[in-house]
Structure 1
């Protein structure tokens, strides 16, 4: 089926299908450093590409919205170029998008995040959207967090999730231009750091200094990345997200 991608349509074209839309998919990511391995756009582009692939499966049942490019990345600010939003700003943006979609009769939204640092704010945002606008809102990741079992099976690095072999592989498969193949580097984890295993902040908060964890801004070992692994990751992510969307649009 042809995906219903908002930024590729006129209002006249969309108007033919707007009453068919059962859910809006809103990609969200970040513009933050990803070591020497992939570009600042990594999280946002992965989320958008996944959303467009889902759009091809759902056709006019799903409206694919433009991505929210910036995210919550204060923990990467010691690396030049990272841009972060305040949590309140990020939540307000997501709520304004939801309010706008409701004006057009869309009452179900799934936010797809390529950036783990957004997850706490996403939880707050979907709660506020439901309470204040009576919209059914949901969120999901699009990468490592969705396929932990596969990554364990493939013996991927224990410390992973950012510019690692999994994320780099998925980027390579979805948008090859994100990957700096000639510069791929294993994460240079600082052994002396109290954050080295991220255990103390796993569920307790998003703010921690990434530079105190990794000297080059990467985790895992991106030199083991491959397009083949990226396809396996993406195929399973799509399968699991389709299961979620099917339940949402019932």
Structure 2
């Protein structure tokens, strides 16, 4: 069920414990083969599948498409906002939700650069609204064990414009993929304690721009192993876990 498709009168009949989901995404470069709206398209794809399963058991807010992508700004077309702007703007949207009486909020993240500030929002907003539940879900972390079983690439093969994101776009928006420009593995290693990918975390964090991580290609990972069939497996794994978490929030009231 989509927030913006309801009339104001129709809100009166809604159970205020219904989980409300807000996707935060990104408009940023995704190498030569994927469009700049990739994180938006992937987030929207998961939400479409979730809505198809859960119907009026979930309330989905309009996506926040432009978020924190400063580390991609060396690549043309990327749009970004400051972390402070994210905290204020996304926080204000969620304040509106709470003022209308909703008590279960899920921040659903489809972009790596939103993770840190999303956690800050989770903790600051949650501490102010202790009569509500707020959760943050980043899709590749949410289904990490299941996704590890799906991947074919080795370490660093799933990162950005990679095996997973390219597979999802081949499924969700195949006409947008520049297939002839899909390349091979691209990842510039750094200190052993800071090397990481989507699923396999590092021991410590080191700031690097996407230009540094990709060696200028804009791709971090191995898109050559991507298929639409794999995109379907990824989708099922992620949406299974989304449904489980969201259903558990609703039942807890």
Global fold match (TM > 0.5): yes
* Cα distance in 1 between the residues matched to 2:92 and 2:67: 15
Q: Which moved more, 1:130-139 or 1:95-104?
A: 130-139
* Cα distance in 1 between the residues matched to 2:13 and 2:176: 33
- Check if 1:136 corresponds to 2:133: yes
Structure 2 spans left out of the alignment, 5+ residues: none
Deviations 1:55-111 (A, max 9, x none): 222222211111010121111111111111111111112211111011222111111
**Helix, strand or coil: the match of 1:27?**
strand
Deviations 1:157-195 (A, max 9, x none): 4212210011110122123244222321224334xx536
Structure 1 length-normalised TM: 0.87
1:89 aligns with one of 71, 82, 85: 85
- State the number of aligned residues: 244
Instruction: Summarize the Cα distance change of 1:115–1:183 in structure 2 as closer, same or farther, 3 Å threshold.
Output: same
Hey, what does 1:212 align to over in structure 2? 212
Instruction: Summarize the Cα distance change of 1:152–1:218 in structure 2 as closer, same or farther, 3 Å threshold.
Output: farther
Hey, what does 1:180 align to over in structure 2? 178
* Cα distance in 2 between the residues matched to 1:72 and 1:167: 18
* Cα distance in 2 between the residues matched to 1:145 and 1:34: 22
* Cα distance in 2 between the residues matched to 1:168 and 1:223: 9
* Cα distance in 1 between the residues matched to 2:70 and 2:206: 9
Instruction: Summarize the Cα distance change of 1:220–1:148 in structure 2 as closer, same or farther, 3 Å threshold.
Output: farther
Work out whether residues 28 and 112 of structure 1, in 8 Å CA contact, stay in contact via their aligned partners in 2: yes
Deviation at 1:41, TM superposition (A): 0.8
* Cα distance in 2 between the residues matched to 1:107 and 1:115: 25
Structure 2 length-normalised TM: 0.86
- Check if 1:47 corresponds to 2:43: yes
* Cα distance in 2 between the residues matched to 1:219 and 1:74: 16
Hey, what does 1:6 align to over in structure 2? 3
* Cα distance in 1 between the residues matched to 2:191 and 2:73: 16
Work out whether residues 2 and 59 of structure 2, in 8 Å CA contact, stay in contact via their aligned partners in 1: yes
Structure 1 spans left out of the alignment, 5+ residues: none
Hey, what does 2:95 align to over in structure 1? 99
Question: What is the CA RMSD across the aligned residues, in angstroms?
Answer: 2.4
